[in-house]
A and B are shown apart, each in its own frame.
Chain A
Amino acid sequence: MAEDSITLKKLREQFGDSIIESHSRLGQDTAILPKKVLLEAARMLKEDPTLDYNFLMDVTAVDHFKRRPRFEVVYHFYSLNHNHRLRLKVPVGGESPEVPTLTGLWPSANWYEREVWDMFGISFQGHPDLRRILMYESFEGHPLRKDYPFDKRQPLVGETE
């Protein structure tokens, strides 16, 4: 495994012991970090001038269902100045999964995190306005969780058969 990218090198220097896994395959960097270092790592990714990840492209999640910890929050970062990309994964589990918000560093995290909350029910500590964004307020449950029955409907207007 060639781990020559500057991002992984820096992450390794800073968080060596706590990195769960990292790899660089086909020029794509991936790091799996525990929740407790997420904010610190994110700050470094943004503020270190040699990394300069100024664009948070996406926040999403994966429901592994049977696996423990059950969820993985996935962040995609991009540096417009260096043309670097990084995929960062944070495993979370438990009854009410929670990770710290990144809205303080990248304002674009706001809507992404609301979407992850809406679809997966993973909440974001410190988010300024964590409401549903795609589904309606009265919707119960989180439809992209593997245990949500995909064809269960919660109509807003009375449906006739």
Chain B
Amino acid sequence: MTQTTFAQALNRALRDELTADEDVLVFGEDVGQLGGVFRITDGLTRDFGEDRCFDTPLAEAGIAGFAVGLALQGFRPVIEMQFDAFAYPAFEQIASHIAKYRNRTRGKVNLPIVIRIPYGGGIGGVEHHCDSSEGYYAHTPGLQVVTPATPGDAYSMLREAIRNPDPVVFMEPKALYWSKEDLDLPVEREPFGQAAVRREGSDVTLVTYGPQVATALKAAEVAAAEEDWDVEVVDLRTIVPFDDETVAASVRKTGRAVVLSEAQGFAGVAGEVAARISERCFHSLAAPVLRVSGLDIPYPPPMLEHSYLPGVDRILDTIARLQWDDEPDTHHLPASDREQVSA
């Protein structure tokens, strides 16, 4: 077994797809000679030539719209948005064309485009470099929105994304780029829509994805050691399509659920997951489904990001509110009412 980083796994996936299919084209800002600001495309231009991996003018709508035209000619574009917040200029092309082309043409034309977006914080990045933008894409029918949390998934899911007949927004948690795993590549790819149980547990299900999977596992270890809670951790892997089955099966087993996201909580993916759990598992639930998320503020400056990011303590505090002693959760009530309810 070799130690493989998340970034190396992504690079290898691109290499293997460029080798397997000559219609695959990789392009974006600084992805050529430089190999991308995160080096995910390192060496691709050198090894596959400028026809296969190339720099474009600095224009995100341009990159996305150009990909549409190339896909119409039968290519499989894999485009890189340099950072999460810099994908916003491309939103019109993504939401109005890439997401809708199959539907608009009544199934006659599909666009197999992969939009790679490094996202999320925790790396000391300045403004516009740390957004969790998955919610915008997940809310747009026609897009698949996926986010790996391990080097193995980074490899297999990127290959699956490129093989997929539909557009995929491939969200790469940049805090994980340097994380490592013992991994021999290649590994098999699987169809999208399958969540993974990363840790088995019997007391409570922690549902999360992307950058927060590692935090969830850490919280589960602390919970076992200090609180005697046996936490099951579910990694969604693909937000769209969503794996209701795995999530619901876990919650029906444990009877309690917390949904964890780095993104702001309001009107976000975590709220959608919580609603889906409530709709499906109401009679199995011993407590309301709770969320732990980033704060509903613009992503903060680096010196303050520790207050924004959900950490182990915030997760454990939330688990503690899951009515373990048949006590109702009074967390959201004014102090005076809280006493009355517990009295």
Is B truly associated with A? no
